[in-house]
């Protein structure tokens, strides 16, 4: 049965166990079983404290990131691997099953031209190395297609599947995001179906990056599409309520995404539960 997660940007720009403790009752009320922890700077994470918090609460941690703009994994894959290494170490240390996100490149970096075959091949080569290293840490590796304004390397579920098939790693999965899908896919149904067996993680993100139910996303259609592909993994509410300074500019967050920041949890999570129930999508 699927689990509901919450990206911690909903409550703070950086991971902080003390803040998470204050929200424990809300997590229990809204059946939040997973917390997504950004690892843009892995040194910010107190591994022992975080693992203890997760074990105490029964919350599963998952981790995500995007590479910094100075790294080009095609021309200098070693630099990309050096950036990922401490993230793998932290993710494994806190008990996360995976590291996901834009693990293959930089959010906000585009060439101004279509992706070339050389770019596909170079990115696939890097992903293969990264997946092998992730496996050594006991981790899955997720690749998140993003919209055309944030990358030209991977935009759709079909793109993600092409990389998965080119790489052939059994711990590699596609991480789709309804915000990006709303821009790039023909439909939620088509986007999820195009991933085939590689769909492993889903971001539930409103069209305005705020509280689900305050934008253009058809949530019942999104959940129905997940039912249709028999998805039973983790779906995580992602809101850019708070954003780490390392990626705020790349994400073009120029104004608050919610008039009342508390609405993301207090109203957004119930809205997702209602849409899921209407579609017959069940959370544990």
Active site residues: 144, 238
Bridge-based pairing of strands 199-204 and 234-237 is parallel
Half-sphere exposure of 89 (CA within 13 A, CB side): 12
Burial 183-208 (b: 16+ CB within 10 A, else e): ebbeebbebbebbeebbbbbbbbbeb
Q: Count each helix (H run) and each strand (E run) in the chain, helices first.
A: 11, 8
Alpha carbons 129 and 62: distance in angstroms, whole number: 21
Give the CB-side neighbour count of residue 207, counting CA atoms within 13 A: 11
* β-sheet bridge partners, residue 201: 175, 234
Tokens 């009752």 belong to: 25
Residue that is written with structure tokens 């590689």 in the block = 198
Task: Kindly state the DSSP code that residue 116 receives in the 8-state scheme.
Answer: P
201 neighbors 185 (Cβ within 8 angstroms): no
CB of 226 within 8 A of CB of 260?
A: no
Q: Which helix (H) or strand (E) holds 52?
A: helix 47-57
Annotate 18-48 with DSSP letters as a single string: HHHHHTHHHHHHTTEEEEEEE-SSGGG--HH
């Amino acid at each position: 049965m699927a689990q509901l997660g919450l990206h911690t940007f909903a409550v703070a720009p950086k991971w902080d166990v003390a803040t998470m403790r204050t929200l424990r009752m809300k997590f229990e009320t809204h059946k939040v079983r997973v917390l997504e922890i950004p690892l843009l700077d892995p040194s910010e994470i107190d591994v022992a404290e975080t693992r203890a918090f997760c074990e105490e609460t029964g919350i599963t941690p998952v981790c995500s990131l995007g590479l910094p703009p100075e790294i080009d994994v095609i021309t200098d894959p070693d630099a990309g691997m050096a950036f990922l290494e401490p993230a793998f170490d932290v993710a494994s240390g806190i008990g996360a099953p995976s590291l996901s996100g834009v693990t293959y490149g930089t959010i906000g970096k585009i060439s101004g031209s279509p992706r070339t075959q050389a770019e596909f091949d170079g990115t696939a080569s890097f992903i293969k190395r990264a997946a092998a290293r992730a496996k050594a840490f006991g981790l899955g590796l997720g690749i998140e297609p993003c919209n055309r304004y944030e990358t030209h390397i991977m935009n759709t579920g079909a793109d993600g599947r092409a990389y998965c098939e080119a790489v052939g790693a059994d711990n590699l999965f596609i991480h789709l995001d309804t915000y990006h899908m709303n821009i790039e896919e023909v439909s939620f149904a088509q986007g999820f179906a195009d991933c085939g067996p590689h769909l492993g993680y889903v971001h539930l993100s409103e069209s305005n990056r705020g509280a689900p139910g305050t934008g253009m996303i058809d949530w019942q259609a999104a959940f129905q599409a997940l039912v249709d592909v028999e998805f039973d993994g983790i779906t995580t509410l992602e809101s850019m309520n708070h954003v780490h300074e390392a990626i705020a500019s790349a994400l073009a967050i120029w104004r608050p995404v919610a008039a009342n920041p508390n609405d993301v949890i207090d109203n957004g999570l119930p809205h997702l539960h209602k849409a899921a129930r209407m579609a017959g999508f069940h959370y544990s």
